[in-house]
Structure 1
Amino acid sequence: MRVMVMVKATSQSEAGKMPGTELLAAMGKFNEELVKAGVMLAGEGLHPSARGKRVRFSGSQRTVVDGPFTETKELVAGFWLWQVKSMEEAVEWVRRCPNPMEGDAEIEIRPLFETADFGDELTPELRAQEERLRAEVESLGKKQG
């Protein structure tokens, strides 16, 4: 199962406070463990929401809203994509993670939808398209890596 592991933003991360050398080293070591275990598919930190934008949809209308966004507890400061056997395995990995912030921090784990989750609504044609697109993305990643 694939999961997205989201490090929730804090007032410090939203202020643009960068992690210190000690935390960067600890996270680097943790990420190495994830890679060696075949768990980590991707992972990145995100700039504060002040550098972001949101696009709101209302029917055919699109409205662009500039950051910063006020609800810090709802924002994400970084993420990983992991391949794990179960949600329990993901929780165990998060328990081993260094605290990603100087003070209190929260990490959220959410499963990704897999092709099988869509049932009969995903027609054979849509399934073939999905598989083709995944193969193209994987191929692009190999070319860029």
Structure 2
Amino acid sequence: MKHMLIMRATEQAVEDYENMDFEAIINAMGAYNESMIKAGVLVAGEGLAQEAGYVVDFAGETPIVSDGPYGEVHELFNGFWIIQTATPEEALEWAKRAPLTAGSKLEVRRVTDETDFAGFEDNEYVEKEKGWRAELGTE
């Protein structure tokens, strides 16, 4: 099963990060990523740039685009990993090994799979999804 580890931080963690040696951060994250690669659990992972992006709000009849991100620092996420593990407990163990500082948090969420669509196997897009995953190599 796949899990997404979503990296979040408080204002204190962001402030602490700005005072840390950037090369040490790169080395710690690199070693963590390498350990997941060697264990065969890392599927994907990326950090997110600090500059603002955009928010597309679907609250009205037509989407409204505004500068983002929005919300409080603790509501934003800074990066993610997608890992493939045998159990949710194993995903939690990997999350606990992340080289993050005080004030940082990892939200661990299961990524949906074919079992979430039981009873809809004949749906055109459920079928297409299987083909897309095979084509993209993300099965």
**Class of the TM-score when normalised by the shorter of the 2 chains:** 0.7 to 0.9
| TM-score, with length taken from structure 1 | 0.81
Separation in structure 2 between the aligned mates of residue 57 and residue 40 of structure 1, nearest angstrom? 33
Give 1:74's aligned amino acid: E
So what's the TM-score if we normalise by structure 2?
0.84
Between the two proteins, the alignment pairs up a number of residues equal to 135
Return the alpha-carbon distance in structure 2 between the equivalents of residues 108 and 19 of structure 1: 25
Alignment of 1:1-145 (within 5 A): 1-11=1-11, 13=14, 17=18, 20-48=22-50, 50-58=51-59, 60-99=61-100, 101=101, 103-138=102-137
Please give the alpha-carbon distance, in whole angstroms, between the structure 2 residues aligned to 1:33 and 1:13.
Answer: 25
Query: What stretches of structure 1 of length at least 5 have no aligned partner?
Result: 140-145
Query: 1:126 offset after TM fit, Å?
Result: 2.7
Cα separation, partners in 2 of 1:114 and 1:68, compared to 1, 3 Å:
closer
Judging changes above 3 Å, is the alpha-carbon distance between structure 1 residues 9 and 122 closer, same or farther for their aligned structure 2 residues? farther
Amino acid at match of 2:118: G
Give a deviation string over 1:24-80, Cα, whole Å, max 9, x none. Answer: 1111111111001110001110013x5211111136411112114132111110100
Work out the CA distance in 2 between the residues paired with 1:110 and 1:51.
Answer: 25
The structure-2 alpha-carbon separation of the partners of 1:24 and 1:97, relative to structure 1 and needing over 3 Å to count, comes to same
Aligned-pair Cα RMSD in Å = 2.4
The aligned residue for residue 143 of structure 1 is none
Measured at CA, do residues 135 and 26 of structure 1 come closer, stay the same or move farther in structure 2, by a change above 3 Å? Answer: same
Q: Taking structure 1 as reference, are residues 19 and 42 closer, same or farther at Cα in structure 2, changes over 3 Å only?
A: farther
1:59-115 deviations in whole A, cap 9, x for unaligned? 64111121141321111101000001111101111222212x4x4211110001101
The answer to which structure has the higher helix fraction is 1
Structure 2, unpaired ranges of 5+: none
